Chains A and B, each alone.
Chain A
């Protein structure tokens, strides 16, 4: 395995464990996630709803709601800063400046009682040493950058459509040229036609500003379009990680295979999709062994005994699957 040079990393997360402790039990949301992301690169986090992707992203800004969320273990270094041990004041300086986040639902993520212009201008005024007028000026620029006329600065969120609101959120996130952008399913809540537009805007801006990005999605198409590396998340663990080519063309984990199997593909003619049988395990009661084993067609009784560790297949590609301890094990999906 190749360790990346820590100096090149915008984000270095090691063995992150996050639980939500509620009256009805402990939800094991994140169970030992590692992320090493280099400056300017894009990592895709792909997985089903409830697999712990959002919680991971929130933890980078220490925004996991507490209570009930508790970070049980792990370290997070953002641009060399120890996020886990950063005082509140410095944390506030990081948020929106060094790293910022785009949320899933644009309908609810803007404050209804402030104008969109003021909401963008606020983040600029907070992090850049400038007057209110300059901040307003720059906020207006940002609106234009995301394709909204400057004249709409003084309007309120309820006067905007969903797609426009998401552009405002993007403008807000990019206003201070963050080195890392956390995009949490930024297009899921939008109409299909708007999705492509918003995604294009994001791609263009990311290239323009050279930000690194974590793109959270359950849409493999988006991953293929924007990401350099991919981590496949299942039940709070990364089950397969590699470059885009590693994961897409040399798929190794049965779950990743299952994800591809449930996609319609116009190139390969198949009679029917092959969805993954069963459901995600109850996060308050995860299996002792491999969490995917109960749904895995390759599972052996061995799989249910212990959580599989990382198995490095190349310098860039690892998989958590104990079947690869057998020299001849292969999944059905062919390398492409």
Chain B
């Protein structure tokens, strides 16, 4: 097992190199002259040229990238074009907010999705199932940034119960976590249900019943563990994208997270900050996906056996 994890970690390296290069390359396509922008409107051509040389922007992209990576390995992502302070400062202050929000959101999602998905599957075509699935369908279709706005209208502006933005303690988590969590819950519910439905018809479930296993044990031990395999993937992917893609919700709730920082940096053309944020988010996303793969092995011995090979 540990050999497998090690192997996967080694395999992660080329992916991370590829990803960082991809991001670096795309951002280097940005229109506009970074050096000219940084030098200010009054700067003459020579000053701009000197700055360009100083920043290394006159070198080929691949060289710039190599330098960037060398620095990155030493924990240096350069300085923000806007504030002049190290890019890492911003990331260190924003990332925990994003991570905490992602954690609470996925908790909301799993807390809603697993029970509803399982009950829907065991009581297929019942009233509960029908209502649950319609709600889940609508949930999947609801853009979460819009849901966030609707909640602000209701709970902040009309009822005044909850703060509409920022991170001012636990009450600030409620709306963003529900916004993100319910969207993911809808998806995970549908997945849990269909996975459960497939498993519950399996021969080995009939075997369990024929052994006299009580129905709730049949569902929660024999079936759920098998049904969880694809669901864990879904949860892992959702968690990964929460860490990386909560951009919209963070913007809606003015959440001081890394997603909003990215959008703000894009607007102020703070390229180094954008690059740093995206690199960190992408690395996190890849690592979460790896963790999910490893988690598989603990649920499904067949996969564990494959890993050992």
Contacts and interface: CB of A to CB of B under 8 A. Distances in A.
* A–B: direct contact at CB < 8 Å: yes
Interface stretch (A8-16, A91-99, A212-220): A91-99
B38 to A, nearest CB: 58
A108 B204 contact: yes
B230 to A, nearest CB: 13
B51 to A, nearest CB: 61
Contacts of A158: 301-302, 305
B204 A122 contact: no
B213 A122 contact: yes
Contacts of B222: 111, 114
Contact of A156 (B202, B204, B302): B302
B60 interface: no
Contacts of B210: 61, 63, 95-96, 100-101, 103
Given A88-B215, A92-B214, A108-B204, A113 B225 contact: yes
Contacts of B299: 113
A319 interface: no
A63 B209 contact: yes
A103 B211 contact: no
Nearest to A113: B225
A123 B211 contact: yes
A112 B204 contact: yes
Name the residue in A89, A92, A94 with the highest tally of chain B Cβ atoms < 10 Å from its Cβ: A92
B207 A109 contact: yes
A172 interface: yes
A169 interface: yes
Nearest to B207: A109
A244 B122 CA distance: 43
Nearest to A97: B212
B213 A126 contact: yes
Contacts of B226: 111-113
A105 interface: yes
Interface in A112-171: 112-114, 122-123, 126-127, 156, 158-159, 169
Contacts of A223: none
A108 B226 CA distance: 13
A230 interface: no
Contacts of A247: none
Contact of B301 (A105, A108, A156): A156
A169 B225 contact: no
Nearest to A155: B301
Nearest to A104: B203
B208 interface: yes
B203 A108 contact: yes
B204 A110 contact: yes
Given A156-B301, A158-B301, A158-B305, A109 B211 contact: no
Nearest to A124: B211
A71 to B, nearest CB: 16
A139 to B, nearest CB: 12
Contacts of B203: 103, 105, 108-109
A56 B209 CA distance: 16
Interface string B200-239: 0111111111111111000000100110000000000000
B58 interface: no
Contact of A103 (B201, B206, B212, B214): B206
Given A100-B210, A158-B305, A113 B300 contact: yes
Nearest to B225: A113
Contacts of B214: 89, 92
B211 A100 contact: yes
Contacts of A89: 214
Contacts of A159: 305
B202 to A, nearest CB: 7
Contacts of B302: 112, 156, 158
A172 B210 CA distance: 10
Name the residue in B207, B214, B226, B299 with the highest tally of chain A Cβ atoms < 10 Å from its Cβ: B207
A110 B225 contact: no
Contacts of B204: 108-112
Interface string A58-78: 000101010100000000000
Contacts of B201: 65
A105 to B, nearest CB: 6
10 contacts: A89-B214, A92-B213, A95-B212, A96-B213, A97-B212, A103-B206, A110-B207, A112-B302, A122-B211, A158-B305
Interface of A: 61, 63, 65, 67, 88-89, 92-97, 100-101, 103, 105, 108-114, 122-123, 126-127, 156, 158-159, 169, 172
Q: Which 5 A-B pairs have the closest CB atoms?
A: A95-B212, A96-B212, A96-B211, A108-B203, A111-B204
Given A113-B301, A126-B213, 14 more contacts: A88-B215, A89-B214, A92-B215, A93-B212, A96-B211, A96-B212, A97-B212, A108-B202, A108-B204, A111-B205, A112-B302, A122-B213, A127-B212, A159-B305
